[in-house]
Amino acid sequence: MLLIVGATGELGGRIARSLLERGEAVRALVREGSEHGPLEGAGAELVFGDLTKPETLPAACAGIETVLTTASASVRGGGADTIEAVDGQGTRDLIDVARQTGVRRFVHVSAHGFKADSGVPLVRAKTETEAHLRKSGLEYTILTPVAFMEAWIGHVIGGQLAHGPSVTLAGDGEKPMGFISVEDVAAAGTGVVGDPKAANAELPLCGDAASFRDVVRGIERVTGRPIAVETVPIGEPVPGLPPIIAELWPVLDRAGVPPEGVRNLEAYGIQPVTVERFVARTFGGG
């Protein structure tokens, strides 16, 4: 049986449904009051608990062969859900409990280009958790996707365009960076479960490469409307966007495009969504 942590989120939910469709037995760690009905309806076994409450984790891990976690406070934080409590200590507690209860493999979704010496809280929490997992004695798979298209094109660029035909970029916007769709990360997450070749491996994932200027030009083509572009120095706040965007933009800028990222998707039969295709389906309606 598999335990999925983060299954009520977009990425974890996609992975849970895919694994259930392929006939896997799936247990999901969910909170009381969360929107877990669709998971239960799809056939997942539910166990109630919380990464920030380590006493709830042994019951979740009992009888589990593989743990897969996509949980992150960067997606839905607030209150006790700080980055350190969820991405940091909470996930490290889950790793420890998994080892103690006889789990064989731990699959962790992190991010490409995150370095331990970063002063960014999310980056620091993720890299410290990766190091903890490598030293745990568990068989592990660490997925490191590049920037999610849904977040960095759909929300960062699209969110600005919702207020008018102009966007602000950090830096000049000309440097190519890696992008990937949630659906492709979910497909890879499904693929590595049970795959012996993914044991004790870190797999960068990348669907396509483009600059932010390329993205803006693509949106102009599909909408037929010009977009004004302004810039701020990289690392400075972008008007109207949350602070974590300004923190992560320099990290993504330095990360580059992993050359093996597309190959790692194709190894699981995934033909990745391109930036052009994502822009067309997201902004093609005008």
Ordered per-residue pLDDT tens for the chain, 286 residues: 999 999 999 999 999 999 999 999 999 999 988 888 999 999 999 999 999 999 999 999 999 999 999 999 976 555 678 999 999 999 999 999 999 999 999 999 999 999 877 789 999 999 999 999 999 999 999 999 999 999 999 999 999 999 999 999 999 999 999 999 999 999 999 999 999 999 999 999 999 999 999 999 999 999 999 999 999 999 999 999 999 999 999 999 999 999 999 999 999 999 999 999 999 999 997 6
Q: Which amino acid is at 273?
A: V
What's the CA gap between 196 and 141, in Å, rounded? 10
What's the CA gap between 47 and 102, in Å, rounded? 18
CA distances to 49, 241, 244, 259 from 77, rounded to whole Å, are: 16, 16, 12, 32
Whether the predicted model's global pTM rises above the 0.85 cut: yes
